[in-house]
Structure 1
């Protein structure tokens, strides 16, 4: 589809075979819960967008996110070195998003944040279908990473769901793809192809619940010659349709609702994640985490992203089980008020 919002001001809902050309949120017929039509200022204030690029291998874990929260632009980047346990991380907050730009084209466009001598840049290309990450920090850290959804073929999860009484969320997820590029940092220099790194990607935007939470799990790697990716969530993107899925060699396999069991006060303690349909049964043990807290009253966040290893089993219907043994990935516990 060319645009997510239709001529009647309402989104296309469902799971799509490909991304819309544009998430044209300004054309949305945004109403109050009581049915009053809301104007351009309310559309701007309530529309939020974020993008995330993660990379995993046994030698290096990394994550970079950009967010447009209307009143605040945010960004973070971190690198974790599993053999030594060392980590570097940076956070950025820009009032009203000054110094940041965000494209509303999921497969074609640039989102970036500039702060002093620091640059976080995510670039998506439709032809060829690629996602690229560039990070340049004033301490000399540099990340150049990219992956292809074309060679070999990959089927992304593209979904739009109703949210609360008057909102919607479009989300696009990728996991289980090989990553190429280089990293230079205080942790060392790395060739991502040489260390057999995998990537995952999240592009999400819309009119999310004003106060919400979610748990999320993602892994990427190879099992017995098969590329495996996983994307599971609870709390968002599960009204009428669900983003829960995993990939085997780029083929998307849907999953029903999932339950996260974990200690919210001690996120590095073991997690257990199971699906109602029996396809997913995983244990996760954290090795480190990136944590952020913000409380401005009208805007608040309690965010914990944990990176570590998964063990367990995926049971695709009609196929042999896939045994997950120490595959690196992420889990997340997030509360946000915006």
Structure 2
């Protein structure tokens, strides 16, 4: 099927795995009047990146729950074993994450905290800009990365029904060029080695929400990106999952992924595999970022592990051995 221009056209939403991101993706376009206003209270949107570099592990996000907006970033220095974190909150709706994301820009700005993403489909170049002041707990984080969309993986673009809700996500991995500075440390990103994985969500999530998710990617000796994105959450029969293999020039559908931590120890390894064996990897954590709040009606118990993967991907045109590849693995349990 061709990529639709809009996720919702003439009031009817496109469902399934899409060839690419629609030019405009707003799930609220399927509703009108009071129903649209009520659905907007359930809409959860975010745009974030996982940065893949051999010496630093980092993720950053701009998210809007429409009753509260927030942004977070962490950077983990593998050599020093030091985790640096920044976060900020803002009124819901203030980040203005555009429906036409890949032809626009979004940013989160508070005093001493600025994260900005700009996307240019026409020029096949995207940009990440950071300007975050030092605090008593963490050093300043500043810099710019340019992402090469022409050399990116094919997109994972999925629109699916969930029990009590719906999901739209767009993901891709991009070679990254630029410099980030964390305090006195200078981190140089080399597009022949380093990647940024985009994660965009525009989902009407059920009140009780939980998922397991992970991703990793690497460049082969031939300069081609291989990797995987996988998730496990409550699903409806027959609906596509937000899981795939990235092999050279392909985004291969993946499903029935099982996450098995070796124990309840926070530092335990995880075995992650699809039932058909096309992904079979072990994730070894090096650290974790955790968010836990209980506010009565609303609660979050979330952690993201950062570390490295090893194992095998079995693509349609051959197998790829995974050795010491940086990635993340996370768990979310929430009342939103």
Specify if TM > 0.5: yes
Structure 2 SS opposite 1:256: coil
* Separation in structure 1 between the aligned mates of residue 90 and residue 60 of structure 2, nearest angstrom: 16
* Separation in structure 1 between the aligned mates of residue 130 and residue 278 of structure 2, nearest angstrom: 37
* Separation in structure 2 between the aligned mates of residue 136 and residue 148 of structure 1, nearest angstrom: 21
> Superposed, which structure 2 residues align to 1:312-327 within 5 Å?
312-319=311-318, 321-327=319-325
**RMSD (Å) for aligned C-alpha atoms:** 2.2
Give the superposition deviation at 1:214.
0.8
Contact 1:129/1:148 (<8 A) preserved? yes
* Residue 90 (structure 2) pairs with residue 94 (structure 1): yes
Structure 2 SS opposite 1:179: strand
1:173 corresponds to which residue? Answer: 171
> Superposed, which structure 2 residues align to 1:132-143 within 5 Å?
132-139=127-134, 140-143=140-143
Partner deviation per Cα, 1:153-185 (whole Å, 9 max, x = no partner): 6310111001224x321100113x321111011
Q: Which runs of 5+ in 2 are unaligned?
A: 135-139
1:275 corresponds to which residue? Answer: 274
Give the superposition deviation at 1:49.
0.4
2:106 aligned to which of 111, 116, 124: 111
Give the superposition deviation at 1:97.
4.6
Sort the Cα spacing of 1:294 and 1:323 in 2 relative to 1 into closer, same or farther, 3 A.
same
* Separation in structure 1 between the aligned mates of residue 152 and residue 169 of structure 2, nearest angstrom: 20
1:33 corresponds to which residue? Answer: none
Structure 1 SS opposite 2:41: helix
2:291 corresponds to which residue? Answer: 292
* Separation in structure 2 between the aligned mates of residue 293 and residue 216 of structure 1, nearest angstrom: 18
Structure 1 SS opposite 2:13: coil
Q: Which runs of 5+ in 1 are unaligned?
A: 31-36
Partner deviation per Cα, 1:199-230 (whole Å, 9 max, x = no partner): 11111102122211111111121344342121
Structure 2 SS opposite 1:107: helix
Name which of structure 1's ranges 77-86 and 233-242 shifts more when overlaid on structure 2: 233-242
1:80 aligned to which of 62, 76, 87: 76
Contact 2:282/2:309 (<8 A) preserved? yes
1:24 aligned to which of 3, 26, 34: 26
2:125 corresponds to which residue? Answer: 130
Give the superposition deviation at 1:295.
2.1
2:137 corresponds to which residue? Answer: none
Name which of structure 1's ranges 274-283 and 20-29 shifts more when overlaid on structure 2: 20-29
TM-score where L is the length of structure 1: 0.89
Sort the Cα spacing of 1:322 and 1:102 in 2 relative to 1 into closer, same or farther, 3 A.
same
* Separation in structure 2 between the aligned mates of residue 147 and residue 237 of structure 1, nearest angstrom: 33
TM-score where L is the length of structure 2: 0.90
Give the superposition deviation at 1:316.
1.7
Name which of structure 1's ranges 208-217 and 239-248 shifts more when overlaid on structure 2: 239-248
